[in-house]
C-alpha cells in the first residue's frame, strides 16, 4: 500500500490555491471594487497559512500571516488596490510558492523587502496618526460594541462536503456567549428525511466585543456554501440582564440530531403542510462531483496497458477473420467493443480543459505589459476545450514564445497606436476550438502586423532564398520559424536572437501538429496551431503501397476515389478533378521507391492539412485501424515523411504517414516541372 507524503499533498493543494490567489489578484487590478475578489484572495491566503503551519512549513505560515495582515486594509475597504499594490502582492505570492516548492532558493532578505514594499503601499506615512494631530473617534466608535445578530443558512450538501455546521456554531461560541435558535421550517417528515441533507437554519445572538472579521474567520472555509446575515446589536436591544442570562452554547450533538433546546423549539413550531414538505424534499439522487488525485505516471502506465490491449485485440480480430468458428468471431467482436470503450474512457481521463493552461499566461501578459510600458488586454475563449494532458504540458512553451513575440514585436507603443488612430490599449486573444479530430489554438494580436518585405529581405540576406524567387506571402512568413532568423533591429532581454520561433515549430511538429500564419498590415497577426487530440492512440486508414503497409491518420482523410484514365494532365503535372476542383496528387510508389508493378486499379486518397489538399495514390485501401503510436528511434529523426509507427495484428510494423510533410512534398513535385520549363 502506497503512503502519501503529507507535505507533498500540501504542495499539491497549495498549487491550486496559488492559481486562485493569482487569478484573484490579477482580476482585482481590473476590478478594484469587487469585494468577492478580495474575499477569494483572503481565503486562499488563510488556507495556505493554516495548512502550512499544520504541515510544518513555519516560514510559510509566518510570511503569509504578515502578508495577510498588511493586506487587511484592502479587505476593510480602507484603501483601493492599484497596479503597484497588485505587483507587490504577486511578488509576495511568488515568494510563498518558492518557500514551499524550493525553500533552498529563497532568502529572508527578499521576503523582508517584499513586506516592506507592501507595508509602504498600504500604510503610507500620511495615513498614520501622530500625537500632534490625533484622530478623533467617531460617535459610533465611541459606543462599546455589545454583540451581533446572525442568521445562518448552509447549502443542503454541506454535510456531504465534510463540514459540520454544529462544529462551526461551537467555534462561534468561543467568541462569546451565544443564544442559538434552530429554525425547522424546512425539515421534512421522517420517512422523507435524508440524514446527509442539511435542512436546518439558525438565528444566533452573539454577545461579544469581537469585530466582523473574527466572525468571518469562523466561516472562512465554507463561505461559498452558506448565506450569512450579520448585523451589530444596539445597546437597547441587549440589556445587561439579557446578556447575563444568555445561556452558553451547548455542546455539539451528532450530525442529524438536535440539542434539547432545539428539540423544544422544534416542538413549538407549527407542523408544516404535508404537500409542501413532500414536494420540497423530493430531489434526484445526485452523486457528489468528487474528484480523486491520481499521479500522472499511473495514467501514462494505464494508457500503455490500453495500447497493448488494442494491439492484442487487433491480432484477435485478424485471427477471427481467418476462421469459420462463429463463437470465436463473437468473442472477438465483444473484445473489440470492450477495448474501444476502455480506450475512450482512458483517453477521457487524460483529457484536461485547456483553460488550465490559458490561466498561466495572464501573469505573463501582466508582467510584460508593465515591463514594456504597453497597456495590453488579455482575452481568452474556448477554455472548456479539452486536450490530452501531455499535449497541454508540451504546448506551454510554444505559447509563451508566441505571446512574448506578439507583445514585444506585434503590439505598438502607445504613441505609435495613437498616430495610427488605434486604441491606446493593445489586445492579445487566445482561443481554442475543436475541428474534427483536431484542436485549433489561435493566438491573435491587434498590432502592426508582419512586414513581409522585411522578412523576405532578411531571408535573402541569410541566403535562404534566391533574390527574385517567386514565393507566396505565406511561404515567406514561414521563415520566421527558421533557426536564428529574426527581423528585430535591437536584441532585447525578451527577443531578437531568433531562438524562440524555431522552438515553437519543432515542438508543434513533434506533436504531429502544424502552424498557419495570417496577417493584415496595420491590424495584427494571427497564428493558428493545429493539434491532434492525443498523442497515444489514433484512428487510422491502413493502406498498401507495393509490399509495404502504412497508416494515414483518419482525421486527415477527406474521401477516397479510384484513379481513372480521365484524370487531367496539365503542363506535366498530375491533377485530379474533384467536382470542379483540381487537386494535385502524389504517387506514393515513386516517393517510396516501391518495387514491383503497380496494381491495375489504384486508389487515390484525398488528404488535407489546414486548407491545403493533396491526393495520395496507393495500391490498396485495406481498411480502418486503431493505431497505438510508437515513437521512431533517434536514428530515424531525419525521416520527415513519417510521424511514428504502430504494430499491426500480425505483429508486423507499419509506419504512420505525416500528412503535412506529404502535402509539402506533393507541392514540390507539382512545382518542379514548372521550374524546369521556365
- Residue 641 phi, psi (nearest 5): -75, -15
The reply to whether 167 and 223 lie within a common domain is yes
The reply to whether 552 and 524 lie within a common domain is no
Closest CA relative to residue 285, chosen from 161, 158, 157, 199: 157
Q: Is the pLDDT of residue 675 over 80?
A: no
> 191 is written with which cell numbers?
420517512
Alpha-carbon distance 330 to 315, whole Å?
15
**Based on the number of CB atoms within 10 Å of its own CB, is 347 exposed (0-12), middle (13-18) or buried (19 or more)?**
middle
Alpha-carbon distance 458 to 248, whole Å?
82
The reply to whether 49 and 101 lie within a common domain is yes
Alpha helices per DSSP H over 219-295: 240-245, 260-268, 274-281
The contacts of residue 447 (CB under 8 Å, 6+ apart) are 406, 409, 410, 411, 412, 426, 524, 525
pLDDT value for 276: 42
Q: Is the pLDDT of residue 250 over 70?
A: no
By residue range, what is the domain housing residue 179?
143-267
Contact 15, 100 (CB under 8 A): no
pLDDT value for 526: 92
pLDDT value for 534: 67
Range with the poorest average pLDDT among 134-148, 388-402, 519-533: 134-148
The reply to whether 262 and 149 lie within a common domain is yes
The contacts of residue 143 (CB under 8 Å, 6+ apart) are 235
- Domain presence at residue 241: yes
The DSSP secondary structure of 126-157, one letter per residue, reads GGS--SSSPPPPPHHHHSPP--EEEEEEE-TT
CA 64 to each of CA 71, 88, 119, 384, 576: distance values in angstroms, whole numbers, following the listed order: 10, 14, 14, 32, 68
pLDDT digits (tens, 9 = 90+) for 90-133: 888 888 888 888 888 888 888 888 888 888 887 765 444 433 33
Contact 510, 493 (CB under 8 A): no
The reply to whether 373 and 517 lie within a common domain is yes
Residue reference for cell 535573402? 460
Closest CA relative to residue 175, chosen from 137, 140, 132, 206: 206
Range with the poorest average pLDDT among 150-159, 283-292, 422-431, 510-519: 283-292
The DSSP secondary structure of 34-101, one letter per residue, reads -HHHHHHHHHHHHHHHHHHHHTT-HHHHHHHHHHHHHTHHHHTTSS---HHHHHHHHHHHHHHHHHHH
- Domain presence at residue 287: no
CA 15 to each of CA 25, 50, 153: distance values in angstroms, whole numbers, following the listed order: 15, 15, 31
Q: Is the pLDDT of residue 140 over 50?
A: no
Range with the poorest average pLDDT among 354-358, 405-409, 570-574: 570-574
CA 33 to each of CA 24, 25, 79, 85, 333: distance values in angstroms, whole numbers, following the listed order: 12, 12, 10, 14, 62
Alpha-carbon distance 667 to 665, whole Å?
5
- Residue 544 phi, psi (nearest 5): -125, 135
Last residue of a domain, one of 532, 562, 579: 532
- Domain presence at residue 134: no
The reply to whether 527 and 608 lie within a common domain is no
Contact 546, 596 (CB under 8 A): yes
- Domain presence at residue 632: yes
User: Strand 548-553 vs strand 581-587: parallel, antiparallel, or unpaired?
Assistant: unpaired
pLDDT digits (tens, 9 = 90+) for 319-363: 888 888 899 989 999 998 898 888 888 877 878 888 888 888 888
Q: Is the pLDDT of residue 429 over 90?
A: yes
Last residue of a domain, one of 267, 285, 314: 267
pLDDT value for 442: 92
Centre a 10 Å sphere on the Cβ of residue 121 and count the other Cβ atoms it contains: 21
Contact 558, 606 (CB under 8 A): yes
Contact 367, 402 (CB under 8 A): no
Highest mean pLDDT among 20-34, 68-82, 123-137, 558-572: 20-34
- Domain presence at residue 630: yes
Last residue of a domain, one of 500, 532, 564: 532
pLDDT value for 441: 92
Task: Pick the more confident residue, 214 or 430.
Answer: 430
Q: Give the CATH number for residue 616.
A: 2.40.50.180
The reply to whether 340 and 364 lie within a common domain is no
Alpha-carbon distance 666 to 616, whole Å?
9
Range with the poorest average pLDDT among 184-193, 222-231, 600-609, 663-672: 663-672
Q: Give the CATH number for residue 235.
A: 3.30.70
The reply to whether 597 and 569 lie within a common domain is yes
Q: Give the CATH number for residue 373.
A: 3.30.565.10
- Domain presence at residue 525: yes
- Domain presence at residue 336: yes
pLDDT digits (tens, 9 = 90+) for 587-615: 888 888 777 777 778 888 888 776 677 88
Q: What is the model's pTM? A: 0.59
Alpha-carbon distance 449 to 160, whole Å?
54
- Residue 518 phi, psi (nearest 5): -135, 145
How many structural domains are present in the chain? 5
Amino acid at each position: 500500500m502506497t503512503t502519501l507524503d503529507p507535505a507533498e499533498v500540501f504542495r499539491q493543494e497549495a498549487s491550486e490555491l496559488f492559481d486562485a490567489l493569482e487569478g484573484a489578484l490579477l482580476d482585482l487590478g481590473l476590478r478594484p471594487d469587487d469585494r468577492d475578489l478580495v474575499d477569494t484572495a483572503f481565503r486562499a491566503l488563510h488556507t495556505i497559512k493554516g495548512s502550512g503551519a499544520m504541515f510544518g512549513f513555519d516560514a510559510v505560515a509566518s510570511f503569509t500571516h504578515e502578508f495577510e495582515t498588511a493586506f487587511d486594509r484592502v479587505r476593510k475597504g480602507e484603501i483601493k488596490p492599484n497596479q503597484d499594490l497588485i505587483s507587490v502582492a504577486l511578488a509576495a505570492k511568488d515568494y510563498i510558492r518558492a518557500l514551499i516548492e524550493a525553500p533552498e532558493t529563497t532568502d529572508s532578505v527578499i521576503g523582508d523587502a517584499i513586506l516592506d514594499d507592501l507595508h509602504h503601499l498600504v500604510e503610507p506615512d500620511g495615513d498614520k496618526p501622530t500625537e500632534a494631530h490625533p484622530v478623533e473617534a467617531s460617535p459610533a466608535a465611541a459606543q462599546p460594541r455589545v454583540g451581533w445578530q446572525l442568521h445562518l443558512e448552509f447549502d443542503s450538501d454541506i454535510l456531504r462536503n465534510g463540514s459540520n455546521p454544529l462544529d462551526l456554531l461551537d467555534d462561534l461560541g468561543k467568541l462569546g456567549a451565544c443564544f442559538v435558535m434552530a429554525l425547522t421550517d424546512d425539515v421534512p417528515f421522517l420517512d422523507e428525511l435524508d440524514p446527509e441533507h442539511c435542512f436546518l437554519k439558525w438565528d444566533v445572538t452573539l454577545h461579544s466585543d469581537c469585530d466582523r472579521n473574527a466572525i468571518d474567520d469562523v466561516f472562512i472555509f465554507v463561505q461559498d456554501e452558506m448565506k450569512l446575515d450579520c448585523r451589530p446589536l444596539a445597546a437597547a436591544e441587549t440589556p445587561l440582564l439579557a446578556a447575563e442570562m444568555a445561556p452558553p452554547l451547548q455542546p455539539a450533538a451528532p450530525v442529524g440530531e438536535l440539542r434539547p433546546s432545539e428539540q423544544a423549539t422544534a416542538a413549538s413550531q407549527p407542523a408544516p403542510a404535508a404537500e409542501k414538505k413532500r414536494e420540497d424534499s423530493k430531489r434526484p439522487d445526485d452523486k457528489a462531483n468528487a474528484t480523486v488525485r491520481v499521479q500522472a505516471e499511473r495514467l501514462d502506465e494505464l494508457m500503455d496497458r490500453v495500447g497493448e490491449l488494442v494491439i492484442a485485440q487487433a491480432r484477435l480480430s485478424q485471427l477471427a477473420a481467418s476462421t469459420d468458428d462463429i463463437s470465436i468471431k463473437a468473442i472477438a467482436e465483444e473484445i473489440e467493443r470492450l477495448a474501444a470503450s476502455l480506450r475512450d474512457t482512458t483517453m477521457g481521463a487524460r483529457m484536461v480543459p485547456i483553460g488550465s493552461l490559458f490561466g498561466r499566461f495572464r501573469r505573463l501578459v501582466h508582467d510584460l505589459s508593465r515591463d514594456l510600458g504597453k497597456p495590453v488586454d488579455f482575452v481568452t475563449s474556448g477554455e472548456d476545450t479539452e486536450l490530452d494532458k501531455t499535449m497541454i504540458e508540451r504546448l506551454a512553451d510554444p505559447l509563451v514564445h508566441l505571446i512574448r513575440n506578439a507583445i514585444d514585436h506585434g503590439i505598438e507603443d502607445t504613441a505609435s497606436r495613437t498616430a495610427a488612430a488605434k486604441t491606446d490599449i493593445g489586445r492579445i486573444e487566445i482561443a481554442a476550438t475543436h475541428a474534427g479530430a483536431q484542436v485549433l489554438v489561435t493566438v491573435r494580436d491587434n498590432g502592426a502586423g508582419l512586414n513581409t518585405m522585411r522578412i523576405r529581405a532578411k531571408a535573402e540576406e541569410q541566403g535562404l532564398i534566391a533574390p527574385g524567387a517567386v514565393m507566396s506571402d505565406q511561404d515567406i512568413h514561414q521563415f520566421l520559424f527558421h533557426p536564428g532568423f529574426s527581423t528585430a533591429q535591437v536584441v532585447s532581454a525578451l527577443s531578437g536572437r531568433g531562438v524562440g520561433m524555431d522552438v515553437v515549430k519543432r515542438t508543434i511538429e513533434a506533436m504531429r501538429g502544424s502552424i498557419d500564419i495570417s496577417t493584415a498590415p496595420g491590424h495584427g497577426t494571427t497564428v493558428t496551431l493545429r493539434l491532434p487530440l492525443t498523442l497515444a492512440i489514433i484512428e487510422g486508414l491502413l493502406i498498401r503501397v507495393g509490399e509495404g503497409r502504412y497508416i494515414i491518420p483518419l482525421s486527415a482523410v477527406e474521401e477516397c476515389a479510384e484513379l481513372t484514365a480521365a484524370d487531367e494532365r496539365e503542363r506535366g503535372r498530375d491533377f485530379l478533378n474533384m467536382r470542379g476542383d483540381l487537386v494535385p496528387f502524389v504517387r506514393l510508389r515513386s516517393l517510396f521507391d516501391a518495387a514491383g508493378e503497380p496494381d491495375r486499379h489504384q486508389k487515390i486518397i484525398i488528404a488535407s492539412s489546414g486548407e491545403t489538399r493533396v491526393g495520395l495514390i496507393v495500391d490498396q485501401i485495406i481498411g480502418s485501424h486503431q493505431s497505438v503510436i510508437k515513437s521512431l528511434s533517434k536514428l530515424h529523426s531525419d525521416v520527415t515523411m513519417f510521424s511514428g509507427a504502430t504494430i499491426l495484428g500480425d505483429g508486423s510494423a507499419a509506419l504512420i504517414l505525416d500528412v503535412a510533410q506529404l502535402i509539402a512534398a506533393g507541392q514540390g513535385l507539382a512545382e518542379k516541372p514548372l521550374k524546369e520549363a521556365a
